[in-house]
Amino acid sequence: MTTNQEMQARREAAVARGAANITQFYAEKASNAEVWDVEGNRYIDFAGGIGVLNVGHLHPKVVAAVENQLHQLMHTCFHVMPYEPYVALAEKLNSITPGDHAKKTLLLNTGAEAVENAVKVARAATGRSAVIAFNGAFHGRTMMGMALTGKVAPYKVGFGPFPAEVYHAPYPNDYYGVSAQDSLAALHGLLKTDVDPTRVAAIIIEPVQGEGGFYQAPAEFMQAIRELCDEHGILMIVDEVQSGFARTGKMFAIEHTGVIPDLITMAKSLAGGMTLSALVGKAELMDAPGPGSVGSTYGGSPMACAAALATIEVIEEEGLLARSQAVGELITSRFLAMKENGLSCIGHIRAAGGMVACELFDTQGQPDAEKARQLVAKATASGLLLLSCGTYGNTIRVLVPLTASDALIEEGLDIMEQSLRSL
């Protein structure tokens, strides 16, 4: 039998260290919300491949759709010889995204690529260059993705210079004293002191920040951004790569606000584990770039499209929007109970549906990133895949598959509680 230790030695010798690993356990197989490593140890999966597995590992419907497609057609490149699953998925995404205007879709591979293309489309459609993003945002590891990302370490260190014409405003965060008012005032200030609004192509925002710490922008704030965009002819891009596909109790998190964005980026849980991202937007904007100027060899591969169509069906058929809400309530109530039962290091408990987080603090009330790191290490060693995130590194986030049973989620929470008590 291969051991985790042997695998780790091989990994260290062969794989770049920048592609870091949270655990040194090597996954062999998985089912729904459980993973087994090469030594047969079982893990409850609260990471969901970082938000990719809202319908769980290897959902039978997704597997069947991919298998079926695999025997029909694996690859032609959509740009060489198009195929039905790409078109069918574009139709589906156009219909399930907010707004009843005409929409069009471009399929790609990764979240970062969807973001890159959102900026390309916005620039082509407006003839403007500048883009405004937010502090704490994460938009990917490509050059524009890094430029838009609002956190220096580890994402941007040593990789500059980045594309020009990117500006950042503070993301509203009441927990750390940034009200929606403060954030809007800063945004208006930016348009006075740094960039002429008539040069701004787009404002890009995560309705709920993912890597930034699971902070949700208030609905009034998103509405104010929409008004600001309309006033100045700026396009509003929402990045739903992490928050989309039932994670927050809606198909897309922006639906909590009533705002209709111009462009939406999505990836991760779109395709239930297959590699796929999409940019969906107003038809006239999406048609701005000329033929051949956007696209990708693998973007919207037949199997990924089949997986995505099946994934969306599963979300609809299995009532995962309501389930997401219930999962969020279950986890939130347990976090609160832990806090009340002596784990006073827990604070700032928050949830947007099943996008749940809490923060860890030291005895002085300061964000405790070291404790979060220790908790993640202890939990994973005890059979629970758990993730931290956030500007201060002290946020514990849960992205458990929404198809997990209450019993399994409770078992995972028990491991988290025991791990935290043992620190």
Beta carbon of residue 374, minimum distance to ligand PMP (angstroms, whole number): 23
**Order of strands across the sheet with 42-45?**
27-31, 34-37, 42-45, 384-385
Q: Which residue has 């594309």 as its token pair?
A: 163
Q: Which is nearer to ligand PMP, 139 or 378 (CB)?
A: 139
Q: Which residue from 314, 353, 330 is spatially nearest to 408, judged by alpha carbons?
A: 330
- How does DSSP classify residue 253? G
- How does DSSP classify residue 364? T
The binding site for ligand PMP (CB under 6 A) comprises: 50, 110-112, 115, 138-140, 206, 210-211, 239, 241-242, 267
DSSP 42-92: EEEESSHHHHT-TT-BT-HHHHHHHHHHHTT-S---TTTS--HHHHHHHHH
Contact 105, 96 (CB under 8 A): no
User: Quick one: tokens of 123?
Assistant: 């620039």
Q: Which is nearer to ligand PMP, 22 or 326 (CB)?
A: 22
Beta carbon of residue 63, minimum distance to ligand PMP (angstroms, whole number): 22
Q: Which is nearer to ligand PMP, 247 or 282 (CB)?
A: 247
Question: What is the C-alpha separation between 371 and 396, in angstroms, rounded?
Answer: 10
Question: What is the C-alpha separation between 213 and 388, in angstroms, rounded?
Answer: 8
Q: Which is nearer to ligand PMP, 166 or 420 (CB)?
A: 166
Hey, what's the torsion of the CAs at 223, 276, 353, 173, to 10 degrees?
A: -50
Q: Which is nearer to ligand PMP, 123 or 139 (CB)?
A: 139
Q: Which is nearer to ligand PMP, 217 or 413 (CB)?
A: 217
Helix (H) or strand (E) holding 347: strand 346-352
- DSSP three-state, residue 131: strand
**Order of strands across the sheet with 355-360?**
346-352, 355-360, 395-398, 387-389
DSSP 202-233: EEEE-SB-TTTTSPBPPHHHHHHHHHHHHHHT
DSSP 138-179: ---SSHHHHHH----TTTTTT--PPPSSEEEEPPPBGGGTB-
Beta carbon of residue 3, minimum distance to ligand PMP (angstroms, whole number): 29
Beta carbon of residue 187, minimum distance to ligand PMP (angstroms, whole number): 19
Beta carbon of residue 89, minimum distance to ligand PMP (angstroms, whole number): 17
Beta carbon of residue 6, minimum distance to ligand PMP (angstroms, whole number): 28
Beta carbon of residue 51, minimum distance to ligand PMP (angstroms, whole number): 7
Beta carbon of residue 242, minimum distance to ligand PMP (angstroms, whole number): 4
Q: Which is nearer to ligand PMP, 273 or 383 (CB)?
A: 273
**Residue sitting closest to ligand PMP (CB):** 111
Beta carbon of residue 102, minimum distance to ligand PMP (angstroms, whole number): 25
Q: Which is nearer to ligand PMP, 197 or 390 (CB)?
A: 390
Beta carbon of residue 9, minimum distance to ligand PMP (angstroms, whole number): 27
Question: What is the C-alpha separation between 127 and 33, in angstroms, rounded?
Answer: 46
Contact 276, 107 (CB under 8 A): yes
Sign of CA dihedral 207, 211, 212, 216: positive
Q: Which is nearer to ligand PMP, 210 or 367 (CB)?
A: 210
Q: Which is nearer to ligand PMP, 140 or 328 (CB)?
A: 140
